Amino acid sequence: MSDTGGRPEGQVADAVSGNWVDTLAPPFARPYLRLSRADRPIGTWLLLLPCWWGVMLAAAADPQGPGLLDLWIVVGCGIGAFLMRGAGCTWNDITDRDFDAAVARTKSRPIPSGQVSTKQALAWLVIQSLIAFCILITFNGAAIALGIISLLPVAIYPFAKRFTWWPQVFLGIAFNWGALLAWTAHTGSLGWPAVLLYLGGISWTLFYDTIYAHQDKEDDALIGIRSTARLFGENTGAWLRRFLVATVTLISLGVLAALVPGGNVLALAVALAGVWAMGWHMAWQLGRLDIDDADTCLRLFRANRDTGLLPALFFAAAAIL
């Protein structure tokens, strides 16, 4: 079945073309998977990658190197990121259902389009959260506590656009929490390297989500939604350059704090190279950005999967040196 635009019936407007949800998933499950943004996987990557930064850098700083525990942290965070991103998006769609109905890009989402009721969405939210909790309790006590605390910024984020011009900060607080959690899952306690990774991740989120928000700035202005895209306007490029510098500086400081005490110069050089590669990729995005072209903004936003993968891969290499 397809709609009049040639898309599969019920497909969300900004879903990836030919995604597995709209082509392979059973029809009864599609509205719920769309609620979880399973048809738009970039958000799962953006939630997961700071987790991988945390565990890989912790393993690189550990004199014993990576072990089986780290393999489980990597896998567990992957499953947990999928579930908690899904739960967070479900919560976001419940709270934003009236706004979504008024925005061209989001009115095709499951709740405003009538594919799922609010009660059904709430039930789906609970199911995803409970499964994610079962994964969380396999980690140590400090990581479990951090995971529970993370629910607070997740709950607040959908409302941020109503009271601040900086809702992207709240998204960054929620989306980069995994850097703290995964570091702690390896080490047993929170450390300054993880905090610096976390702050760098928040700056990165301000970078990519400002680009993302430029897609909706006209509709947002009509219905009173605030964002850094609207706040920065034509000065967006200058602000994004600041976020680029802050991201590279903070994550580099995190690497230095983690690896300098161990004295492994090669591991330090490899990890720093990953951070600088991330900065290069952000600069590449800036060179192609057109804030008035929604398609370009979406394409560059999705490119941030590769941006965040670069330090993760280099940190993994540093961990085995």
Please indicate whether residue 194 or residue 105 has the higher confidence score (pLDDT): 194
What does the block give as tokens for 110? Answer: 């499951």
How confident is the model at residue 108, as a pLDDT?
A: 87
The sign of the CA dihedral 131, 84, 49, 202 is: negative
- Report which of 39, 21, 27 is spatially closest to residue 115, judged by C-alpha positions: 27
Q: How far apart are CA 88 and CA 305, in angstroms?
A: 19
User: What number does CATH give the domain 27-320?
Assistant: 1.10.357.140
Nearest CA-CA partner of 60 in 256, 308, 279, 305: 256
What are φ and ψ of residue 302, in 5° steps? Answer: -65, -30
Q: What is the pLDDT of residue 6?
A: 55
Confidence of residue 13 (pLDDT cuts 50, 70, 90): confident
Distance CA 272, CA 314 (A): 8
- Residues 285 and 256 sit within 8 Å (Cβ to Cβ): no
Q: What whole-number distance in Å separates Cα of residue 312 and Cα of residue 120?
A: 37
22 vs 286 pLDDT, higher one = 286
Amino acid at 254: G
pLDDT digits (tens, 9 = 90+) for 111-169: 998 999 999 999 999 999 999 999 999 999 999 999 999 999 999 998 998 899 999 99
Query: In this predicted model, what pLDDT tens digit does every residue of 175-234 receive, in sequence order?
Result: 999 999 999 999 999 999 999 999 999 999 999 999 999 998 988 888 888 999 999 999
88-102 confidence digits (pLDDT tens): 999 999 998 987 788
Please report the DSSP string for 74-136 in residue order: HHHHHHHHHHHHHHHHHHHHHHTHHHHHTSTTTTTSTTTTTSS-HHHHHHHHHHHHHHHHHHH
Q: Are 200 and 251 in contact (CB under 8 A)?
A: yes
Checking if the pLDDT of 1 tops 90, the result is no
Q: Can you tell me the mean pLDDT for 238-266?
A: 98
How confident is the model over 14-41, as pLDDT tens digits? 777 788 999 999 999 999 999 999 999 9
Summarised one tens digit per residue, pLDDT across range 63-93 is 998 999 999 999 999 999 999 999 999 999 9
Give the C-alpha separation, 72 to 299, whole Å. Answer: 32
pLDDT of residue 62: 96
Per-domain residue ranges of the chain? 27-320
- The pLDDT of residue 129: 96
Kindly state the DSSP code that residue 188 receives in the 8-state scheme: S
The answer to whether the pTM exceeds 0.75 is yes
Q: Give the per-residue pLDDT at 18.
A: 85
Check pLDDT > 90 for residue 8.
Answer: no
